[in-house]
C-alpha cells in the first residue's frame, strides 16, 4: 500500500524542493474507455507523469505489469477510474484531502510538485468549486490538470459556483489557466477545442484545463485531432 501524506507533510516537502526550476512534462487524457487498446497514443508524448481518466480496472492493463509507480482510483459502483503512472522511479504519493464524496479529484505529490488530477463527474464545475473552496490552502502552489467538463459559456447553468467564479478563486491564490495565459484568450472565447462531442467537428468545446502557479514557466499543448480516432478528448501536455 502506498503511504498517504498529510497537509503538514506537504509543506515540509515544499521547503526541500525549489519548485518550478526543473523541466517536467505532465500528460492528461480522458481516454473514453478501453485504455488497454489506446495507451500507446499518450506515451508518444514521452512525459514524466501520465494522468488518464475513464480507465477500466487496471487488472486489464497488462502493459502496467511490473510498474512500481502507479496509482489507480475507482469509486465503488463505477466502471472506470483515474490512473497515474510514470516510467521513472519517482514516487507518486497520494495526499490526504477532504473530498466530501466529490469525485474524481486526486491530489498527489510527484517530484516535489503538488498535482491534482481531475475528472469531474456528476456536479461538474460546482463540485470542483466546492472542493477547491474547502481545500484552498492545500491547493496553493499546486498544478490542477484534467477534464473539468466545464466552460464559461455555461456559467448561467451553475449559479454562483460557475467556471468564471472558479477561475477568479484560482487567481486569488496565484493560479492561472496556462492555456488562457499562453494564448491571450478569454474564458469562453477559446479558439482550440479539447473535446468533440460525439466526435463531431460542429460540437467542439474547450473543457479540459491546466492551472499552475503564476511563478511557473509553463507551456501547454493540445494534441491534434488525429486522437479523435481513439477518444472524444484531446491529450493535454503541460511542460514546466
4 — pLDDT class (breaks 50, 70, 90): very low
**pLDDT value of position 6:** 44
Is the pTM value of this prediction over 0.85? yes
Neighbours of 191 (CB within 10 A): 7
Q: Average pLDDT in the 59-71 region?
A: 92
Q: What is the mean pLDDT of residues 165-194?
A: 98
Q: Does residue 13 carry a pLDDT above 80?
A: no
Q: For 117-164, what is each residue's pLDDT tens digit?
A: 999 998 999 999 999 999 999 999 999 999 999 999 999 999 999 999
In this prediction, residue 98 has a pLDDT band, given cuts at 50, 70 and 90, of: confident
- The edge-to-edge listing of strands for the beta sheet with 81-85 is 70-73, 81-85, 49-55, 25-30, 236-239, 219-222
pLDDT at 19 over 80: no
| Per-residue pLDDT, 20 | 41
Are 113 and 139 in contact, with CB atoms under 8 Å apart?
no
Question: When comparing pLDDT for 217 and 21, which is higher?
Answer: 217
pLDDT: is 197 or 66 the higher one? 197
Helix (H), strand (E) counts: the chain: 6, 14
In this predicted structure, what is the pLDDT of residue 7? 39
The predicted structure's pLDDT at residue 38: 96
Domains of the chain: 7-11+24-239 (3.60.10.10)
Residue given cell 512500481 in the structure block: 68
Amino acid at each position: 500500500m502506498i503511504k498517504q501524506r498529510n497537509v503538514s507533510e506537504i509543506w515540509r516537502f515544499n521547503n526541500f524542493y525549489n519548485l518550478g526550476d526543473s523541466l517536467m512534462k505532465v500528460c492528461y487524457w480522458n481516454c473514453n474507455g478501453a485504455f488497454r487498446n489506446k495507451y500507446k497514443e499518450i506515451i508518444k508524448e514521452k512525459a514524466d507523469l501520465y494522468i488518464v481518466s475513464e480507465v477500466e480496472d487496471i487488472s486489464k492493463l497488462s502493459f502496467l505489469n511490473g510498474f512500481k509507480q502507479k496509482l489507480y482510483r475507482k469509486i465503488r459502483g463505477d466502471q472506470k477510474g483515474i490512473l497515474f503512472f510514470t516510467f521513472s522511479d519517482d514516487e507518486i504519493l497520494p495526499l490526504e484531502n477532504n473530498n466530501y464524496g466529490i469525485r474524481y479529484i486526486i491530489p498527489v505529490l510527484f517530484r516535489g510538485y503538488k498535482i491534482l488530477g481531475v475528472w469531474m463527474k456528476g456536479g461538474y464545475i460546482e463540485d470542483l468549486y466546492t472542493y477547491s473552496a474547502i481545500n484552498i490552502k492545500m491547493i496553493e502552489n499546486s498544478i490542477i490538470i484534467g477534464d473539468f467538463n466545464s466552460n464559461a459559456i455555461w456559467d448561467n447553468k451553475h449559479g454562483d459556483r460557475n467556471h468564471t467564479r472558479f477561475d477568479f478563486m484560482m487567481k486569488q491564490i496565484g493560479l492561472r489557466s496556462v492555456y488562457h495565459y499562453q494564448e491571450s484568450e478569454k474564458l469562453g472565447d477559446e479558439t482550440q477545442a479539447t473535446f468533440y462531442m460525439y466526435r463531431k467537428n460542429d460540437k467542439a468545446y474547450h473543457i479540459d484545463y491546466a492551472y499552475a502557479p503564476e511563478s511557473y514557466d509553463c507551456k501547454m499543448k493540445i494534441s491534434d485531432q488525429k486522437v479523435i480516432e481513439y477518444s472524444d478528448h484531446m491529450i493535454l501536455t503541460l511542460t514546466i
